[in-house]
Each structure stands twice: as structure tokens, then as C-alpha cells.
Amino acid sequence: MKNGTWTRMTLTLGLWLLASAAPMADEAKDSKIDPVGKWTWTMPGRNGGPERKSTLDLKVDGAKVTGKISSPGRDGQTTETEIADGKLKDGELSFSVTREWNGNKMTAKYNGKVAADKITGKISIDRNGEAMTRDWEAKREPAAAK
């Protein structure tokens, strides 16, 4: 076999291996996206008050995501609320949280991209017929030592 032919065959084989490995690398990357654990973030306080820290505890069963959000209530007590419609697909996390005050229900929809120890996205709330959004960035808390 001539040297030029050998070089072309080697190059062709190398490109083929590279192209066939790329989908496997993407699948491996997606399978490593794991939102399980405790996540925290802060939001500005009402009327210039101190920041409010919220905690999200997530679990995953297949494509279904479950969990609870804990956040400070109006009276200083921590309010814990179950998430609903939790999903994880291609690194995108989505869920909703419905809270009720004085007989009025309000649903917040969370969407975010999970990357290592951070979730970055948007929270959408429909309040009195007006859609409001805000940025959301949660950081994973270190796992507790056993």
C-alpha cells in the first residue's frame, strides 16, 4: 500500500471514530446531570428588607422530579411547599410551586439549566393577570457527612 493511501485510510478511520464517539459523549454528559440534593438561593426582601433565603430539596425517579421548597413566610416562619410537574430533560429542569394566602392561589413556574453544582434559569409568576419573571440561580449545598 502506498504511503498516501495509508494516510487517507488512517485519517478517514480517525474521523469516523471521532464522529461516532460524539453522540456517546453527549449521552454520557447528559446522564451525569444530577439535580438530586439540596439547593439554595437568595432573593431581595420585600420593600428593601433583608434578603430571603430559599432551599430546594430535589429527588429524581427516572424523568420525574419531586421535592420541596422551604422559604421564609410573611410572619417569619419557614413555609415548606411540595413541587409539582417536576421534569428533567436534556439538562433542563422544570417544576411549579403553588402557594395559597388568604384563599388566593399563586403558581410560580421554575425553569433552569442544571450544570454541575448550579441551576440557572427563570421563575415565572402570574399575579393578578400580569406575568412577572425573575432570574433564578441556585447553588448545590455540599452533601452532609455521614
pTM across the whole model: 0.72
Fold of domain 37-140 = Lipocalin (2.40.128)
Q: Phi and psi dihedrals of 73, rounded to 5?
A: -85, 175
pLDDT given for residue 47 in this prediction: 78
pLDDT given for residue 4 in this prediction: 57
pLDDT given for residue 1 in this prediction: 53
- pLDDT digit string (tens) for 63-99? 799 999 998 877 778 889 999 999 999 899 999 999 8
Look up residue 17 and give its DSSP letter.
H
pLDDT given for residue 3 in this prediction: 57
Q: pLDDT under 70 in the chain at which residues?
A: 1-32, 144-146
pLDDT given for residue 19 in this prediction: 46
Q: Which residues of 88-105 are buried (b: 16+ CB within 10 A; e: fewer)?
A: beeeebbbebeeeeeeee
Q: Are 92 and 111 in contact (CB under 8 A)?
A: yes
